[in-house]
Amino acid sequence: MIPKISISSKIADEHSLACLCTDLKQTATIQLSETEKTFLQKKFEKEDTCAITRIPHLLFFGKIKTEKEPYQQAEMARVAGTKLYDALKSAGETTVQLTSFCEAGFLTDFLEGLLLNTYNFEKYKKEKESFQLENILLIDEKITNEKIDEIINTTKATFVARDLVNEPLSFLTATQFSKEIEKLSDEAGFSLEVFHKKKIEALKMGGLLAVNKGSIDPPTFNILEWKPENATNKQAIVLVGKGVVYDTGGLSLKPTPNSMDYMKSDMGGAASIVAAIYAAALNKLPLHIVGLVPATDNRPDGNAYVPGDIIKMFDGTTVEIKNTDAEGRLILADALSYAKKYQPQLVIDCATLTGSADIIAGPHAAVVMGNTAEKVEQLKKSGLNTYERLIEVPLWEEYAAPLKSPIADLNNLGTREGQTTIAGKFLEHFTDYNWIHVDMAGPAFRKEKEAYRPAGGTGFGTRLLYDFLKSLTK
């Protein structure tokens, strides 16, 4: 539950206080004893945050380093907000005041880090978290209620993405995924159309159908649309998300440790685009946005597709299957082909696509590539703004060569070397518009908590995409 957030004109003595500063001299208006001043100075020599207990309240200080870049300073404020939440939880304090003495502000980033760290996924736990932060008072009359609402909505959306990734296949089948999207559409006001198996067969989406062959659960193809009357774009922005709700690897079976045991997260790309459209609708962004989510699990049942098969995709391209664990690109390719019907201004696909993207970037960034340099740079800027960073790789033609097949138009694997870009070249084949591919295999799911990014689903991509979409309205 998101705490109640309000704006106040002055600091009250009866509540805990948390502040940001670049120099301790800026906090002179806060009355500290000599002992507290000495303690704070020593603490800041080694650390960027300090909590002082004044029973029954807390004083919390976060230091922003002026030598850092602005986007790094904003992230320092978010991390300080994370540590503030931990301190409040430890003290059992349910109300806190936030203020900033920094010239550049960062109060909204401080708030965002605090809110993002309140997340818990406890649906399946008998014992629930008892602590609940109830009230946040912002000591800054320049901040508008509209800005607060925007932060609340993007936080809610990030939590939606985290929840979807954290849900196990025992609940989140492709069909249930569609039902969860329907709940979000009812709440936020975007439309949803769901194609079920018969419709998918009629459309001859061969990639999605092939991956689904080994499953007892049917696939779905979900079309989300946010089209406000004041949309500023004549051509839609289309977001495509890989919705493999669980990936065993199919007959090319994955090993379990550190691989298959995390594969409920293989729909992290779909979760992020669903959540981004949810945030856009809640915040009434004046953009026409379409989301495409092909969804299925990938299992090795008796009728599963096999290496050596040749399948025909939605656009008629034939693909020789070299590895059934290279399934994400198959369902994405059908969606990318389907996107052509919108004559889109831009298409962005997000996917936990290749292990090699995790090797390139680890949990700290996603890998990005595309055929529109200007929009890639704009997306990378949003990556810095939200600290959901992107590492760009080129789409050189040489990376398409390993996808040649002697018996089909393409094969679905290529070589081990350069696999992230090879997968991108496979997807590029199905595009004829401005297109960006984001491979978020590393940051979508974490094994351990880091700051406001929890263990499990992180919601990576939600804030990135929302910031980018918002930038298109300026």
Please report, for the chain, the start and end positions of each structural domain, with discontinuous segments joined by +.
4-139, 155-472
Q: What is the pTM of this model?
A: 0.97
CATH of domain 4-139: 3.40.220.10
**What are residue 29's phi and psi, to 5 degrees?**
-75, -15
Query: Is 66:22 a contact under the CB 8 Å cutoff?
Result: yes
CA distances in angstroms from 262 to 71, 96, 168, 348, 428, listed in the order given: 31, 36, 10, 25, 27
**What are residue 216's phi and psi, to 5 degrees?**
-85, -10
Catalytic residue among 162, 254, 322, 380: 254
User: Omega of the bond prior to 363 within 30 degrees of 0, cis?
Assistant: no
Q: How confident is the model at residue 199 (pLDDT cuts 50, 70, 90)?
A: very high
Amino acid at 299: R
> What's 155-472's CATH class?
alpha beta
Query: Is 206:313 a contact under the CB 8 Å cutoff?
Result: yes
Q: DSSP labels for 172-230?
A: --HHHHHHHHHHHHHHH--EEEEE-HHHHHHHT-HHHHHHHTT-SSPPEEEEEEE--TT
- Domain 4-139 identical in fold to domain 155-472: no
**Among the listed residues 355, 288, 329, 338, the one whose alpha carbon sits nearest the alpha carbon of residue 424:** 329
Catalytic site residue 83?
no
Summarised one tens digit per residue, pLDDT across range 95-132 is 999 999 998 889 999 999 999 999 999 999 999 988 99
Q: How confident is the model at residue 54 (pLDDT cuts 50, 70, 90)?
A: confident
Catalytic residue among 329, 425, 446, 463: 329
Summarised one tens digit per residue, pLDDT across range 289-331 is 999 999 999 999 999 999 999 999 999 999 999 999 999 999 9
CA distance 61 to 130: 26
Catalytic site residue 197?
no
